[in-house]
Structure 1
């Protein structure tokens, strides 16, 4: 799916701003058929939960309604008019006046509607979007709705972040010619100093297509006719971590000398490969340093914010980080675009977090419902999961920063039914994109002894909390546990190991001369103990700390104003651990520490 852009043949109008807003219980039946009777307005893009002081809105389970009037530019006569919603968490319905024009399930990927037949150039229409935040055992992520004794509906789920909802990404109106480019796929390769660029351009109807490749200075370096083919770039400048270089693929639909439609797709020439226990970018070993993150800021919730985006990237650069994982859902497209331009490496993850009822039993192994069954995660869940993978790959396939797909976070992969659930999803991901490795992250409950699916994946991604949830406050024991765990995986599989989560909750300003959990000193010492264990295992290809910044979670007595594992506070002030990471990562520069054994 192409991100809307203004080009010589396309126009783009932002619909961001303040919209009329109401929860479903306040507006009665069929609210899209009239002007919303509400005194409330909500900002778009932003989650709605924290914008208001009414807890009934913040904790609402069900549908909410956004509405505004939109005028189609008068110069769009004869053009197709497309409405695009960047994301509606977790399900969206779009109405143009009284007509339902789009429905979409999945809270973090975009969807569109061609509304040409419902609107006219220069005309005005009423745009209403209903957004439902409900999670069930057949959604991704899964969840469960219960009703309290006083009749309130409550949402439970097994992911440890607040269930922010609403229109967290931009809403846009754009025009395209009647015959237009619908999609572009770019796959690159390297042959010594020559880059290969395989391309495919999909059009709305049969049409003549030509493509041109421009370098960063705008000079043409390759060209071809036809909707698909391969071009070569001599003396290519590859896209490298920390040294991004982007080319333009200019695709045009032509009729003789007339350009009917044009769209420019940025891309970088780079390769990704897993070879034995090494992760290679452009044939060179790469060592990941960075974070799991969240789209989470005060007031905005999961709403995209360009200022926070810029500042977060600056802070990652400051620490020496070269990568992050989009925990635990696809991030806004602007995030990946900046990663492309900045040379930051991205592990791109679906919203499949919480497919793990074993967490109900906890680390103590208490009885719990089966994760995979007709009444829990079932064929319908897997179908929703498959669709999430399709939409993720379709949206993000052309980003050079994306080097690996992560199709789930901490699923229960030691339970009966795990292989039957995941094997088709891995096959689907490889079919959609055979050029990138595929992974998932293993929780503490999954070990090299009980795991049932690790052989399906290219990289072993481990989330480990020795020294926090296990051996709390005993870092000597924690370090021993971590090294033994890593060596167990190494002996069983010849695959790269990436530590995708390790961290300790920390209250800024809490200090101690002892190894006392929750203090800033303990967080720093915890990280150093883990690093020593990582460095003694040659198969480890990277470390991504949980978490970049503190973030909001649902109610729980084990959380004090959210999850405090950030090395930065929620408002991006560094804890002592940020300086610990800066000292280590700035010296690594994407290379494995030399002390590996």
Structure 2
């Protein structure tokens, strides 16, 4: 699915702003959802609605809400087809035009759209209603459970350790395309000697002959460096400039549909970074050079906005990553806004792209709170319907992000109960790679959740396990989570847990072990910043494992990490400067 784009043949209208907003009551029939909302609450889009209002009933609401606004189709679109696109509706969305239902989407972090050309004419106004449901069950991704009390009140529980923010957290668009138009583009890059290769597939509407599709590739100066024709093929770029971590270079791959008399019908451009990715033995190679991941697990999480996309926070977060020496992050634990992926492309930041399959581990609950362990993989818990939702999430993630140069790994789930009976049967159909994964991504908390505060014992256990994985598989390993809750401003002469001094000592221990493991190819600490969670007895206003506070102030550990990661970066640059840049 191509992101809406303004070109010489396409137009788009951004529908962000204040929308009329209301909770949907349990006795309110769906037929009434499209009725005009009376003057009352207004909710910002994009934003999660939970923390915007002061009403606790809205903050804790479980079920449907509805957003509504008036929209006018531009008069100039009389010869075009036009669509409504929702970037994300957490976790289920229904779209209505006036009183007509047009589309449903399940999954809270990937976009969906619907054509409305047949429902409203250019120059006309219409009532756009988007209903959003935040409920999680054993067959959703992520999973959860809803309990109903004696008074009929719903309570949502879930196993993932971040708040279940809901609503329209990303942009909503009205956009146009020509009758004959480009529907999708796939680019795959390779390198041959000093030349770059862009292999492409262009999907156009049914009435477009392949020979009417024209391709051109331009460099960052706007110079055409390659051309081709047809719906499939490849473009060769001589003396290619590679997309490198920390040094992004993006070509513009432009597809055009031309009429039989060579008139331009439609055009769309994709930013293409030429680079190669390879796992060789226990090394991870980008452009044939070993790459060591430094960075974070992150969250889309800020005060008031919740998961609402905010370009100011995005730019500031990337500035902080650059300052600290991070070269990568994981989209824990769901696909991030597409603007974030575009920005990572332009900034040369490497991304591990993850689905929203988090919380597939019922053993965690019994381990934390006691009681009889419930099997994760069963008909009553995570079952075939859950797996299909997981598979659909993977398909939509890859369809959206397949062309991003920044994406080097796909993560199909976070912390599933992989040791339980039934785990292989669940995951094997979701993955076609070798038994089953190319890279081992490990989340470990020795010294925090186990061996609490005893870092000497924790160091021994951590090294023992990592050496075991190395001996068993010989595959590259990334420590994708490790950290300790730390209250900013809490200090201790004895380096006690929760103090800033303990957090520093904790990370130094892990890094000593990382440096002794040959197959270790990276470290992404948990977490970039403190973030909100559900109300829990061991969570005081959220998770405090951030290197930065929720409002992006550095804890002491930030300076320790900066020294380490800047040193790794300098060493990598020294090695690269001595290599032959034309040999790939």
User: Within 5 Å, which residues of 2 pair with 1:383-462?
Assistant: 383-427=388-432, 455-462=435-442
Match of 2:230 in 1: 226
CA distance in 2, matches of 1:593, 1:324: 20
**1:124-155 CA-partner distances (Å, limit 9, x unpaired):** 00000000000000000000000123321000
Match of 1:175 in 2: 176
Match of 2:536 in 1: 556
Q: CA RMSD in A?
A: 1.5
Q: CA deviation at 1:313?
A: 0.2
CA distance in 2, matches of 1:271, 1:31: 53
Q: CA deviation at 1:360?
A: 1.9
Instruction: Report the CA distance shift for 1:365/1:424 in structure 2 as closer, same or farther (over 3 A).
Output: farther
User: Within 5 Å, which residues of 2 pair with 1:456-535?
Assistant: 456-535=436-515
CA distance in 2, matches of 1:417, 1:591: 44
Instruction: Report the CA distance shift for 1:142/1:342 in structure 2 as closer, same or farther (over 3 A).
Output: same
Residue 135 of structure 1 pairs with residue 136 of structure 2: yes
CA distance in 1, matches of 2:135, 2:348: 37
Q: What number of residue pairs does the alignment pair up?
A: 569
Match of 2:215 in 1: 211
CA distance in 1, matches of 2:39, 2:363: 43
CA distance in 2, matches of 1:365, 1:413: 20
CA distance in 2, matches of 1:190, 1:230: 12
TM-score by structure 2 length?
A: 0.96
**1:158-186 CA-partner distances (Å, limit 9, x unpaired):** 10000000000000000000010000000
TM-score by structure 1 length?
A: 0.94
**1:203-254 CA-partner distances (Å, limit 9, x unpaired):** 0123210000000100000001111101110000000000000000110000
Q: CA deviation at 1:264?
A: 0.7
Match of 2:580 in 1: none
**1:347-375 CA-partner distances (Å, limit 9, x unpaired):** 00000000111112217986311111111
Instruction: Report the CA distance shift for 1:26/1:423 in structure 2 as closer, same or farther (over 3 A).
Output: closer
CA distance in 1, matches of 2:56, 2:383: 34
**1:42-87 CA-partner distances (Å, limit 9, x unpaired):** 0000000000001100100000000000011111101001110000
CA distance in 1, matches of 2:463, 2:570: 22
Residue 367 of structure 1 pairs with residue 347 of structure 2: no
Query: Could you list the runs of 5+ residues in structure 2 that have no partner in the other structure?
Result: 575-584
**1:2-31 CA-partner distances (Å, limit 9, x unpaired):** 111100000010000000000001993333
State whether residues 21 and 38 of structure 1, in contact with CA within 8 Å, keep that contact through their aligned partners in structure 2: no
SS in structure 1 of the partner of residue 523 of structure 2: strand
Name which of 294, 307, 318 aligns with 1:289: 294
State whether residues 567 and 578 of structure 1, in contact with CA within 8 Å, keep that contact through their aligned partners in structure 2: yes
CA distance in 1, matches of 2:86, 2:275: 31
CA distance in 2, matches of 1:33, 1:471: 55
Residue 580 of structure 1 pairs with residue 560 of structure 2: yes
Query: Could you list the runs of 5+ residues in structure 1 that have no partner in the other structure?
Result: 431-437, 439-454
User: Within 5 Å, which residues of 2 pair with 1:237-256?
Assistant: 237-255=241-259, 256=261
